[in-house]
Every structure is written in structure tokens, then in C-alpha cells.
Chain A
Amino acid sequence: MTDLIHLSADALAQKLASKEVSAVEVTRAHLDRIGAVDGAINAFLHVNTDEALLVAAGVDRARADDEALHPLAGVPIAVKDLIVTRGQPTTAGSRMLEGWQSPYDATVVRKLRAARMPILGKTNLDEFAMGSSTEHSAYGPTRNPWDLDRIPGGSGGGSAAAVAAFEAPLALGTDTGGSIRQPGAVTGTVGVKPTYGGVSRYGAIAMASSLDQIGPVSRTVLDSALLHEVIGGHDPQDSTSLTDPVGALVEAARRGEVEGMRIGVIRELQGEGYQAGVLARFHESLDLLRSAGAEIVEVSCPNFRYALGAYYLIMPSEASSNLAKYDGVRFGLRVVPDGAPTIERVMGATRAAGFGDEVKRRIILGTYALSAGYYDAYYGSAQQVRTLIQRDFAAAFEQADVLISPTAPTTAFRLGEKLGDPLAMYLNDVATIPANLAGVPGLSLPGGLADEDGLPVGVQLLAPARQDARLYRVGAVLEALLEETWGGPLLARAPHIEETTEVGSR
């Protein structure tokens, strides 16, 4: 049964539909894999064994009765632990929410349940999605399946590692400044940040509300399109949700065409600070796209150099406000100091004990940026820069149908390497942040292995708002061309992860 875990979601869906395998077999194969390798990877904070098998058994019964089923019914999925789920804990990777259970489901979770996709469990992340390495989780770091001494990216390192280690064919992530795409890049997997508002945020624990977006994590471009169609679409529960239909994303991925398309290389997202092996693989991808009939043009986005700075003002400002609700009153941790403390002292003690260093840093930074006297100079200016970045995108999309860049400037670094230097950590997101500031969609797919360290490199595609289908159309072509040169998927070259029999330990 172990080969079931190496199949794509699309292949699993076909085998399920033809009754070649049962949903229980597929789900059990993945649960067994989690039991065998997750002691080493630590991608999961909670494994949802009983409910997943129950849902799978229901799918098998329904199929035996010839009930109409969603194409992905019975295909299991992992969910980032920032997204609330009934019947399972949701921690956001924080001590603040240890053991907390949501009384409601996120809209995306409701959609997974409606499609009858078994939920394997909840995946690890940087606390409240604040980080680029998953090292800021209160429950220990996730390890990169390509090298267990290296980071899996962040904040969604758990979802990316789970998919890369064949613990799940699909996962959900959230992306505020690159938390889906950058983990995808460093683990050799696919991740998509949809257009802002394209997927409901209802039930995603908020970090920065004007930047956060839920999206798919998978091993193939087509699989992300399949999942994107499940979770996308209008939701009245999220007032920023777009009313547009989700679009023919699967069709775009299946058709895959770049002939005559203009693909814009962003001048500002290459060169200094980018690892040689990252740039070498990036330029190979450009050559492949050119050979397939695309026109490669260069575009300039001069204000992108201010994106990181603007992001580190807007994001902490919104986060400091969103995280004010963790005060020990209505849910989560409450720490009561000695004596007869007032609620204010309880809040101070609760937030001191419940939040980790990075969360505290961002709350303080946001409180600073929003303070009287600094508001205009910092938050106001950052919002103006946001306008300039949107204008850069608009001008670039006059010259190109999609834009392309490396997803991250480097391959996976070693655990602990950047923990003491927050600014160095922030620089990992330099290429992914502009999309969040402008609300445009982005996709990262594996571009190969860097020569100097043999680790995965990510290639990022960006499209205008509401044109997510273009990402799948181009991404599918590039993926096929690259796999032809590799003789198979990149993950086939990942090192073997030793399986243990440590089952049901968490």
C-alpha cells in the first residue's frame, strides 16, 4: 500500500472513482506514513485518525451505493493549524491556544467536509504564522524532508513538509507575506496564494487582515488547481470575499499553454542577495518557457525595493490589533499572578507567558508604528508605498501576461542559522511580499536543485488580480518541461526518510 502515498491527488481521485482503491485504504496509507516518519519531520501538531477514517468509510459506502460524489471525495488533506476546525484542537503554533478547540469550522474546512475529503490532522507553523522557518512554533520546529537539519520554510513549514514527505497529497496553507510559497520553494513542492478575496478567510486566525490569504499546497500544479476550486468562491461570512466565480482553474492546468504569452522577468527580483544556484535554475526555466513559444520580456518594478519595509510596518500594525483579543478573558490561556490582581495585570501576565519572542516583537513594532505622532510617518507612508507597488504591478502587466521570479533568494538554511537575526529572517520573503501588498495571485513550483547544495529552488509566477487561471496555465507547462528534463518529479530525488514503527504516539 505504500505506493498510494506517492500518487498525486488527481491520480488518487481517478483510482477512487474507478473503485481500484478504497478511501479507507488511501487514508490509512497516509496515516501509517505519518506514524512512520512524523517523529522525524514534526509536520503535524495533531493527527485526526478516527474522524479521517470515519469520513473515508462514509465515502466508500456512498460510492458502493453509486451516490454522486465530488471528484476529490476520499482524497485526504492536511490543514494548517491556523485554520479553525471543530472536533480538533487549533493552536496557531502558540502556547496561548494550547488545547483550545474552536466552536465553529472555517469556511474552507466546511468546503472540505462538503467534498468529503478526510482531514488527516493539523500542521505545524510559526506561532500565529509569524516567521519564515517554522522555528517560531511553540511546539518545536518542523524539519525539511530534503535535509532534516534544515528549515522547511515558514510560516507554513508543516503543510509543505507534510506534502513533501508524502504524509499527505494535499494541504491548506495561509500566505501573508509568502508563508505558502516560500515553504513550497524550499521543500520542492507547489504552493499558491490566490487573489486576495478569492478564498474566504472566515476561520483563518488573523495576522494581518489586509494581507492574509488561504491557499493550496500540493506536489503538482494540477493538484493545487483541483484544491483551489474546492476552497474558492464567494463567502458572505468574509466581507472581503470577492463575488467573482472561482474560474476554470483545473481546465487551465490541464490545458497548459504558453505559446505567444508574454512572460515578464522582474528586474528587481534577481541579482544581489540571490544564491547562484537559485539564479541558475531560474534562468533554465526561462529558457524552457522560451523554447515552448513564450516571449520573455524584462519588466521593472522600481518600488519593490520598498516592499519589505512597507510590509514590516503594515503587517505588525495589523497584527498588534488582531492579537489584542488574546487577553485571557474569553478563550485561551489565562495566567493569574499572585495576590488579588486586577484584570489588567492578568492580561499582562497572560500575554507575557502565552506569546513567544517573535510575536512579542511584532506586537511591539506594530504598537510603535500606530502610536500617536508616528502613525502618519510609518503606517500612513507604508500605505502610500502600497499604492506605488500596485502601480508597478499595473505597469508590468501592461507589458506581460504573467511575471516570473525566483520564489526565495536562497535554498533552505540550517535550523537555528537565522534565529538570532530577525532582519536576516525577514529577507527570505523579499520576492513574495509584493504580491500580498498588491493582492495579486502567486504560485511557486519546483525549479530544480541548486548546484552548490543539492537543495530545491522555487520559481514564482505572478498574475494580475482575478487572473489566477494564468498561473495554472503557465505553471503546468513549466512543470511538464522541467520534469521532462529531470526524467520525473523533483521529489523522486529527495532522500529516503527512515520509517519507524512509532505509531499513534501523538
Chain B
Amino acid sequence: MAEINRDEVAHLARLAHIDMTDDELGRMAGELAVIVDSIRSISEVAGDDVPATSHPIPLSNVFRDDVVGQTLTNEEALLGAPDDADGRFRVPAILDGE
């Protein structure tokens, strides 16, 4: 299994949309290497015959009745918005050069 180094952390931070300074990347790589080292053995514990558990108490097909329920009003939904216009969330440009 690959080491978790500074380049790997930089890549992961980009995927997770968190800007990190050089200092942060170095520190995070060191800390995560220790943590990953301590949990690496988990991949060798269970044999192929052990099924995975994604959920502690199995439930299947939880549906609700197909009726209109109480929902947030448009105004309520926008209450915490950093910026909005015409009843919608407003964001900066999605693509460069727009």
C-alpha cells in the first residue's frame, strides 16, 4: 500500500477542496503517516468469506407515503445563503473566463 506523503496529501486536499499552505501539507503528511500506519493492519484482519457491514442494524426499503409534506419555503431555504438572487443561490463563475 502506498505511503501517504506530501504529494499525496496535496492531491487529496485538492480533491477535498481545501487550500493548504506548504507548512500545513508537511505537518498533515507527518501526522497522517502515523495514523495510516496504525490502521494499515485492518486490511489483513478479515478473510474473503466475511461479509461487509455498512449499517449496524439492517433495514430494507424504507419508503414514505407519496404525499406532499411540510417543506422549507423558498425564503427559509435561502435564509443562511452567503449570496442569493431571484430566489436562488448565487455563486461566482463556475468556469474560468466567464
Contacts and interface: CB of A to CB of B under 8 A. Distances in A.
Interface of A: 100-101, 103-104, 195-197, 210-211, 236, 239-240, 242, 303, 306, 309-310, 312-313, 320, 324, 327-334, 336, 340-344, 346-349, 351-352, 355, 360-361, 363-365, 367-368, 371, 374, 377-378, 380-388, 390, 422-423, 426, 436-440, 465
B17 to A, nearest CB: 4
A385 B45 contact: yes
Given A100-B80, A383-B52, A351 B95 contact: no
Contacts of B81: 330-331
A388 B64 contact: no
A360 B12 CA distance: 11
Contact of A364 (B13, B38, B62): B13
A228 B62 CA distance: 24
Contacts of A381: 42-46
A361 B28 contact: yes
B36 A385 contact: no
B50 interface: yes
A348 B62 contact: no
Given A342-B95, A387-B51, A439-B57, A377 B1 contact: yes
Given A367-B12, A368-B4, A384 B34 contact: no
Nearest to A327: B17
Contacts of B94: 342-343
Contact of A390 (B1, B53, B62, B72): B53
Contacts of A436: 56
B7 to A, nearest CB: 13
Contacts, number: 175
A351 B57 contact: no
Contact of B28 (A331, A344, A349, A364): A364
B62 A313 contact: no
Given A385-B45, A388-B46, A368 B8 contact: yes
Contacts of B16: 320, 324, 351, 363-364, 367
Contact of B12 (A331, A352, A368): A368
Tell me if B's interface is mostly helix, strand, loop or mixed: loop
Contacts of A313: 39, 42
B93 interface: yes
B17 A347 contact: yes
Contacts of B39: 309-310, 312-313, 378
A103 B76 contact: yes
Interface residues of B, number: 54
Contact of A378 (B18, B43, B46, B91): B43
Given A344-B17, A364-B13, A384 B46 contact: yes
Given A371-B12, A383-B52, 4 more contacts: A306-B41, A342-B92, A367-B16, A386-B52
Contact of A306 (B12, B13, B42): B42
B1 A210 contact: no
A100 B81 CA distance: 10
Contacts of B62: 239-240
B38 A309 contact: yes
A7 B42 CA distance: 47
A383 B15 contact: no
Given A385-B45, A423-B35, A334 B56 contact: no
List the 5 shortest-distance A-B pairs measured between CB atoms, nearest first: A439-B56, A331-B80, A384-B46, A334-B82, A383-B52
Interface in B7-38: 8-9, 12-13, 15-20, 24, 28, 31-32, 34-36, 38
A344 B14 CA distance: 10
Contact of B32 (A310, A336, A344, A364): A364
A101 B79 contact: yes
B85 interface: no
A348 B19 CA distance: 5
Interface string B78-98: 011111000001011111100
B68 interface: no
Contact of A351 (B18, B43, B59): B18
Nearest to B49: A384
B46 A385 contact: yes
B34 A367 contact: no
B45 A306 contact: yes
B6 to A, nearest CB: 12
A100 B80 CA distance: 6
Contacts of B1: 374, 377
Specify which of B8, B24, B45, B96 lies most central, judged by the most chain A CB atoms within 10 Å of its CB. B45
